[in-house]
Chain A
């Protein structure tokens, strides 16, 4: 069976035109394959390009070289060359991403933020909101906060909103960037459960976990991300 996500010779460099065209290579020759039901932890020193790799996999950064093959609607799609509308479709149906930062329209209620990806898939509003509320409760976010916009929430609360939004729909491929960074032990345990459940349901998960305990609990293997030599 082919991998849920596979990169071939993936490379990424940045050219900073405002700094006289400085060229910064970050990734080169990355060959990563993740299968359904498997969790792979990216491993490497700070600044090695783990977050850059995650962003490339999500299509947030454009791939500089190589291919990113994703199982989508039963076929392999190269995210590196997909057009924007395909990427949007992939993100709606196949590829989820929990980043460290919450970026939402001000004034939108938390439960609506979580329910949004469900409704984008066509789920009825009431059902989507029920599911959103349930997941937020499970992540110990008090009910009274569900109707408020998360702008004034603490870092940990915002992260849980992000997690709920990422886990509410089932994504066959899920990217987790430091999902437990600002969480206490109790909430960390909830996240671990969520990850295990997603794996059991067949999700392919790629994560950056600085917390060794979390990493050991969910990662099936590590994938080394090595710093590139400055070639400028």
Chain B
């Protein structure tokens, strides 16, 4: 068994009287898609923020390839965030520069890591727009003229252009039409397969988690109440809360 890329243990965090994380442990291996599901306020997004070093827990460790993420300086963490990691925000407006063209958005990470050849940056941007199914003719348009689904695909292109090893995704299909969601799910899955990418995805969409994730963690009130193989957790749920969650999903 290979050592996990990301490994967190004993994570605890309270917001005043509210427990946001209670003894959470999680690890993500190379090429693995892991989903964190649970209702709003269950601590999913908080966990994602702690794991990505954006928020410090009260206790616990987060290790990236054996390195202590929480002890890392900001410079090292930012470097990680624009090289080996990526973060896809629920609202693409949080992850994009709306006043910068689509090509500039995709190219920014390349330039941040030292790309200085305009032609190459543009070629790379075009190839990524094609991968996320955005027409090449839109490369110089501002993202604010894009639909929500296109903005989200652009955010994914912008995140993946530097070939990160692990991408954190916070409700990437939230707020999108169902038809657009399917297209995005397909895209995330095929890209993660193609690139051997690890994905840690937070979602309250059980159906999306089933289609995307190898493993799943069910969170409730800051605790991981159940975890395991995705189809087993969803088809043979053990914890009462998971049973409730699964039985509440509308079958299509």
Contacts and interface: CB of A to CB of B under 8 A. Distances in A.
Interface of A: 14-18, 55, 59-62, 84-85, 87-88, 103-108, 119-120
B45 to A, nearest CB: 23
Contacts of A106: 182, 185-186
Contacts of B247: 18
B144 to A, nearest CB: 27
B32 A85 contact: yes
B229 to A, nearest CB: 4
A18 B32 contact: no
B228 A84 contact: yes
Interface residues of B, number: 25
Nearest to B237: A17
Max count, chain B CB within 10 A of own CB: residue among A15, A103, A106: A106
A100 to B, nearest CB: 14
A84 B214 contact: yes
A103 B215 CA distance: 17
Interface stretch (B10-18, B64-72, B117-125, B238-246): B238-246
Nearest to B181: A106
B205 interface: no
Contacts of B243: 16-18
A108 B186 contact: yes
15 contacts: A55-B236, A59-B232, A60-B232, A61-B232, A61-B236, A62-B228, A62-B232, A84-B215, A84-B228, A85-B214, A88-B229, A103-B211, A105-B182, A105-B186, A107-B186
B215 A60 contact: no
